[in-house]
Amino acid sequence: MNQFLSRRTFILIPIMSILKIIFKPMKVLASSIASKEKWNFSNEEWKSRLSPESYYILREEGTERAFSSQLNNEKRKGVFHCAGCDLSLFLSDQKYDSGTGWPSFWDSIPGSVETKVDFKLIVPRTEYHCSRCGGHQGHVFNDGPQPTGKRYCNNGLALKFVPE
């Protein structure tokens, strides 16, 4: 009997750990889809939640005028959140002065933004948006500082700064 038990345990443990590896990512994926659905509002609902300026940026992929955002000069320690759903997108440590007139970051918080290519200016650009509510944030270029070499050029109207 004892021998049977220990043998069974011996077989079960590796099977369980393999199952855990297989099912864990599926669970994470399912929960991120669920939270996305929660933020899947109609245009009318978004209009009632956002200022007209932020609606234009976040939901119509607009771009604010350069040097128009106070966040361009924001130098305090803190976190930049999505103005649509409040997800944390950038840390103040990832911000730098690009001289372009838009709040710029050399990296984003892992998993916070997703990208797609747009052709609004004919030349393809990489648009990025909040991974939770899909709100447009800005464009990412490859002329940023090290260590990433990236420049996330963000609309201030799409962000909300929360000082530390």
Q: Which residues are catalytic?
A: 153
Per CB under 5 A, which of residues 81..120 are in contact with Zn ion? 82, 84-85, 87
Q: Residue written as tokens 């999505």?
A: 82
Nearer CB in complex with Zn ion: 71/85: 85
What is the rounded CA–CA span in Å between residue 81 and residue 138?
14
Q: Does residue 122 contact residue 35 with C-beta atoms inside 8 Å?
A: no
DSSP 76-117: SSEEEEETTT--EEEEGGGEE--SSSS-EES---TTSEEEEE
What is the rounded CA–CA span in Å between residue 146 and residue 130?
23
Rg of the chain over Cα atoms, rounded to whole angstroms, equals: 21
Q: Does residue 54 contact residue 83 with C-beta atoms inside 8 Å?
A: yes
How many residues bind Zn ion (CB under 5 A)? The answer is 8
CB 89, min distance to Zn ion, A:
8
Site map for Zn ion, 42-81, x if CB under 5 A? ----------------------------------------
- In the list 135, 138, 144, 156, the residue contacting Zn ion (rule: CB under 5 A) is 135
Stretch of residues binding Zn ion (CB under 5 A), selected from 61-69, 92-100, 126-134, 147-155: 126-134
Nearer CB in complex with Zn ion: 82/153: 82
Q: Does 138 bind Zn ion (CB under 5 A)?
A: no
Contact positions vs Zn ion (CB under 5 A) = 82, 84-85, 87, 130, 132-133, 135
